Structure formats: C-alpha cells, structure tokens
Structure 1
Amino acid sequence: MNAISLDATDCRILAVLQNEGRISNLDLAERISLSPSACLRRLRLLEEQGVVERYRACLNREVLGFEMEAFVQVSMRNDQESWHERFVSALRDWPEVVGAYVVTGETHYLLRVLAHNLKHYSDFVLNKLYKAPGVMDIRSNIVLTTLKVEAGLPVDLIAHRGEPKVS
C-alpha cells in the first residue's frame, strides 16, 4: 500500500490529535492557525482517507489494577494442519492479550499480555496459552519498568519519508 502525501498543516493536525483526541475543532483550528471551516475540511478528508482511523481514550493500566505486563514469545508445532488459524482463533478470546504479532526469528508470535498480578498471569499461561492447539514453547519477558510508550505515530517523520531527519 502506498502512503498518501500529507503537507505540513496535515501533519500539525495529526500531531495535535494524537495527544488531544477530544480537542474541539475551534481549539484545533486556533492551535494550527487555520479557520475552523478549513480545519474541519482537512480533518474530514484525513478521516475519509483512513489516516485517522478512530478516536479513543488511553486508560491507565495500573490505576485499573493491571500491575503486570509481559511480552511473550510463542513457538508453535507447525506439523499440525491449520496451526496458525487455530492459534489466532484462540487468542481472540483472551482479553489478557492486548497485542499480538507474527514475527521473524526463533519464535512465531510475540504477545503483549496484561494481568492483575503474578497469579493471574500464571493462570493465563497455564490454563489458556499452554492449552492452545499447537503451542510448543513459551518464553516470557516480564516488564520491570517502562521507559517509553508512544501510542501514536511519529508524525514528524512523515514529511521525511525515506530520508533521515536532520535535527
């Protein structure tokens, strides 16, 4: 899929929206120095083009009782028929899995898992993950400290696509 071209104003709109998704159109227009009608037209176009997929709130996992986060590498027995489809189907039913990726390297999948505590995580691994069809090996990496989390995309790199950004 080819990336669409965005100008500097579009990028400023996106940068503000990623940090303040509930900002009013009037405040957004003022922040990026556009008239409210021009700002709304640009925003609607970005939504229609699929650049802005949806709006949502960022929840604080620790305040909500999810004290544990882990990245889990899962290796599969690929001698079973439909092993990938069966695993993907199973993981869709696991609310603890908040991110799932097919990866290169020694394992097949990388999962981001949230749990209330070690007991909850252990129950998930033993009663769900290990029982999933085709699972051969699981390696957990427990998060001790989070150094950086960016929920958005690096909008400042859009204009420099394919070339290094000079600071």
Structure 2
Amino acid sequence: MQLDAIDLHILATLQDEGRISNLELSEKVFLSPSACLRRVRLLEEAGIIRRYSAVLDTDRLGLEVDVFVEVTMRREDMSWHEDFVETISGFPEVVGCYIITGNASYLLRVKARDLKHYSAFVLEKLHKIPGVQDIRSNIVLQAIKETHALPTELLKDVAAGGRDS
C-alpha cells in the first residue's frame, strides 16, 4: 500500500490519540468523515494498523521493576531456539523478547512487582530453561524516553516512493 501525507497524518494522530472519534480524526486530517473512515479501514486491512491498545501506568499498577535481560544460549541442541521461544512466551513477566546481534542470543524486557519478584523470576523460571548459559540483568533506574509510537516523519520518503540511505 502506498502511503501519502494524509495517511501519515492519520497514523500519527491515531498513535497519539487511539480513542479519537472518526469525526474528530476527520477534522484533524481535513477529510470528510466517510473518506477518513475509508482510509482508516484500508490501513487496517493492509495490516499497517495491527491493533488498538491502551498504555498502562506500570508504577500505579505496582510493577516497579523494569529490566532489560541479555540471555546467552548454549547451542548443542538443534531445537534450542524453538524451545526457548515457546517457554518464554508463557512467562507473563516477559513483555518483549528480541533476537539480537552481539554476545547474547536474546534481549528480554521484563516487568516485575519488586526486586524479590524479579529474583524469583530469574531463579525459578529463566535460569531453569534448558540451554541458558548466561543471564545479564540491566535494571532500569529511570526511563528518559519511552514510546510505542513509530516516527511517521521517517516514513515520508517511503510514502513518496523513495528511500533515504
């Protein structure tokens, strides 16, 4: 799907205000409500808008510990990756799991109620996964910038059909 400036404006607005009504959105992007709704539906059908969600305040909900965890795997077993992914997918503490380059195999983002909860997670769950060789924890002291919104200004060249290298 080729994106234009109006599509990018719609995406930026929806990322910032996910509960905005179609009428309000149409006014912000200077379209009629029917044309705006049609564009949003096309963005959804194309898979560009995957889903809608709410951003929760982890501190107010009692999840005080945020940790980036580097996990290095032993690779003797041929199914080490599939087994790790299947096991990690069942841990509610893991809110993000990424295959990375460098010394570690994976980077996890883990949320926990407190350090005791995090310690129990590492010792009773993560450390017991077959093939785990090394675990390195990076506890977040303060979040400087945190967003789930994609920077639509980086998509302008792609929307225009070109690429900036």
How would you bin the TM-score normalised by the shorter chain? over 0.9
Structure 2 partner of 1:126: 123
Q: 1:50 matched to which residue of 2?
A: 47
Find 2:145's aligned residue among 140, 145, 148: 148
Identity across the alignment (%): 57
Deviation at 1:156, TM superposition (A): 1.2
The equivalent position to 2:7 in structure 1, one of 6, 10, 14, is: 10
Larger relative contact order (CA 8 Å, sep ≥ 6): 2
- Per the alignment, residue 163 of structure 1 pairs with 164
After superposition, residues 12-31 of structure 1 pair within 5 angstroms as 12-31=9-28
- Superposed CA RMSD: 1.0
1:105 match: 102
The unaligned stretches of length 5 or more in structure 2 are: none
Residue correspondence of structure 1 range 53-72 to structure 2 within 5 A: 53-72=50-69
User: What is the one-letter code of the residue matched to 1:163?
Assistant: D
Instruction: Give the Cα separation in 1 of the matches to 2:112 and 2:127.
Output: 16
Moved segments of 4+, more than 2 Å? none
The superposition leaves residues 82-108 of structure 1 with CA deviations (integer Å, 9 ceiling, x where unpaired) of 111111111011000000001111010
TM-score, with structure 1 as normaliser: 0.94
For the residue of structure 1 that corresponds to 2:110, the secondary structure is strand
Q: Corresponding residue for 2:38?
A: 41
Separation in structure 2 between the aligned mates of residue 148 and residue 141 of structure 1, nearest angstrom? 16
Structure 1 residue 81: deviation in Å? Answer: 3.1
Q: TM-score, normalization: structure 2?
A: 0.95
